[in-house]
Chain A
Amino acid sequence: MLIALLSIFIVGLIAPGLYSVLREKTGWVLAILPFSVFIYFLTLFPAIADGEVITQSTDWVPLFDVTLSFYLDGLSMLFALLVTGIGTFIVLYGSGYLAGHEYIGRFFCTILLFMGSMLGVVLADNLITLFVFWELTSFTSYLLIGFSHDSAESRNSALQALLVTGIGGLALLAGLILMGYTAGTFEMSEILNSGDVLRESPLYLGILILILAGAFTKSAQFPFHFWLPGAMAAPTPVSAYLHSATMVKAGVYLLARVHPAMGDTDLWFYLVTGFGAATLLISAWLALCYTDMKQILAYTTVMVLATLTMLIGMGFPLAHQAAAVYILGHALYKASLFMVAGAIDHEAGTRDIAKLGGLRSLMPISAVAAALAALSMAGIAPFFGFIGKELLYEAALEAPMWSTLLISIAVLGNIAVVAAAGIVAIKPFYGPKVETPKHAHEAPLSMWIGPITLASLGVVFGSLPFLIDSSLIVPTASAIYGETLDFYLSLWHGINLPLILSVVTLLGGIAVYKIWTGLQSSTPAGLYSTTFHDGPKGGYQFLVDGMLSTAGWQTRVLQNGMLRYYVLTIVVTMAVAIGYTFMSRAGFAWNNELGSVELYEWTLFATIIASALIAVMVRSRLAIIVALGVIGFGLALIYLMYGAPDLAMTQVLVETLTVILVALVLVHMPPLKKSEAAGSKFRDAVIALTLGGIFTAMTLTAMTLPFDLFISEQFAEWSYPAAHGRNIVNVILVDFRALDTMGEVVVVAVAGLAVYALVKMNKKQSKNGGAES
């Protein structure tokens, strides 16, 4: 399985190169790849049908328990077949749809990378590996949605999809890690057996919410559903693949996958079924608010995802059986319908229902495919969709709680779907011919082979359900449920309540279809879509805008461009952080053993303090330097008084040099500008004195500690005999700590270079006319 996956990724990466060689044949050649992977999975089919589970594992990052491990049971098999099977047709379809497009090579590349990622999601056993592929689907779909990147709408839709699924993905990551920690393993196959540990863990609620956040955003559940219709900005092959058959189902897949470990609790039921049911009702009727074929299909997709969510949430065998049937049935008819919609758009130049009609004679094959798919979508016998809908109704009727509500929602939702099926399959093809922007004709082979095949499968599986029931649907439902189930599918269940409800649904749907044109343009419909489509979308926009305005505000306040405030903030931070810690943790202490202060010492201290005050108060540069010089010499005197003549000497030298040098430079500079208002001066003085006071207090407090003379004494001892120098400061500078000195020498040298470079460069540039390249 690893090889199958890798081959898709590798071929994907070289696809643009292949295109430049094979040109228009590329699609047919590339389609061989997903098709062979499809065949590969078919060869494993018998084993899975027997209820076996195939696992494969390769180490990746053992340190984090990340393995490239794969797990193939009924559920993954169903998805793997859909991903590769439909993928084959999509590659073909894409080659026709985008023939001659400047980015067709890039299209093949991204769609194959996406395919590999999606396949990875459904096969991965390791939680982290699952997440890796999950994120890759977000990434590749971002590129695909923004395919027509010249339009702002495409870019925004792509961003919206990326952010919505991105936040879900991040929640999912946290959820998966917590899940792994709680269960003590990062392999899904092992976690499935430790459901009780998870359910009893105090983290259960957190894990559940995080994972649901991941699944609901990916599968476009209310209130995150708005990104999916937005994603219709992608070219149709992408919509058909990602937004009907695969990516959006990743969330559903995840729910189905974790059900055995996380399900079977009231919380699960309420959250999953609840969100599913709400989304179902909302989205099914939203579909009827639009005339763009892709928008209609997008919302019916959301509706089906919601149905699946609801079914998985119910948590009993019949519901999961229905879910398994629905996954397959939906993938077949929805991919076909999308491809037909794309073909119409491609050939007729529009996909707006209001501008289409009577294409049946011009596009006969597409018309047939659309009809077959729509019949399945509407749930009419003997199509596969019918079996799904019957099972859905049965399951809703048998739901342990709230069954009346659930069945009502299911029926109401399906009425809308029947109407939608009619709209997309009948309106464009029948009725009077409408003049379309392009003169329509049948799409090329590459574009109709997919829809017709997939749509036909719907009727084949529907009339002959034994072909797949025990081999595929049973293992899938068993995997979702967590225990081996035993059932078979049939079209005819006798005259029972579900059948009656089906008839009601059909009649209701036809009725809605009849009045749709008026309904769609009516005010309530507008209001409805404003509330449920624009509302959540507006919420998203509100969050993004809010974030941006907060960001702008914060940046204007913090990064205000004024050095004075930067320094102020830093000094205040220091005073608070250091001062608070010092006062609360240590407190000021005074060393009583210190001798009394003599008069001459007081005089010296007073001089130093006075000089410091002068330095900040006067406005002449020279006076400032002199004042600072006085401080320096004062310090030298202190060293001298307390027995460090070497240090005092060094200090005097350094100070003299500094004062002279700086004075030389500064006398040539203009006088300082007038300083600012008294208020801010006072503020600055208070802050400066506070920090100075804190530092002084800390220093004094440190004086209460015994000073460790270990190193200084050793220096004194070694200075002459070992280092051959009588002046200890010198020896420290050039021997004991010579590296420091070398560093400082570099600093001084660089400073010199800098002055030279900046001055000379200025001259050079002004000579050359000023501007620099």
Chain B
Amino acid sequence: MSVPITVATATLSRRVVERRLAEFVDRDSEMRQFQAVLQSDDKLIMAVHGGSGIGKTSLLLRMIHECALGGIRKAEVVWTDTNPHDYMAVLRKIRDDLGVEHFQAFTDLINYFTDAEYRPKLEVTLNVHGQIAVGAGMQVTQSSVGDVSGVVIRDNMIVVQRQDLAISVEERRDQLTTRFIAGLGAASKASLVVIFLDAIEKMSEITYKWLWERLLEELRSGSLPNVRFLLCGQRPPPDDRDWAMFIARAELQPLGLQDVAMYIGKRAPNVSDAMRVELAKMILGPTRGRPTEVAAAVDAYLAMSSSS
């Protein structure tokens, strides 16, 4: 359903997000890890993982906020049950977040692969040996893959690939990724870019495989020195020694008593210290320190206090 957003609603939701950021507790070591990933070439990927309700998304929001404060450009892809991005959707979303102008060649090819009526502006060169005109009917305006000056190629946003080309899906995926990587390289040439991927456990196996074997592999090979990935979800990164040295792992742990007490202090500043500790002890048991449940318990406490 598409509902026009009211100014009041937008302001309110922004205010709520800001308030939640301000109430954020603990996770200092994870934030330091994140800063280290941004500031050095040592680790290129940060993988935040943990069970449901452990506070991954809150941490992610905090990291995104940090990027905004530091003027670092970012892209964000969130998987949901009703929006299970495949590789094309992932690439499109990152492109749109970082600026379509860097990804003209990619957009040109994605249009060509999805729209039989589309005439590519750039040469379509596939993995062929010998002489063959693959992109028959194209309007080649440059002899090699690159930007077309003065022309903005608009994505037709078609999600179904055309079936009248003798090009396998694997080959298409590979070619699109190659052009995307070139665009990402251009987009990140002058400054750091962070790509946030949230709820990766909802990613299909085929997309997950592509992510590690193709997209992140480019990062590992050193072709994208100014790009960092932040992976967030219930699924831990692959337990692979070849990858380990490139990944900063952060498995989130439940909150401790002090953290819960501090959180209560932020939510209910008028509550006395003794009461805060008492409440924290009470809450910690049944919630097992899971931040989402702690927060809900504090909500309930505040609702009951205000009604009594």
Partners in one complex: no
B interface residues (Cβ-Cβ under 8 A, vs A)? none
Chain A residues close to B by CB (< 8 Å): none
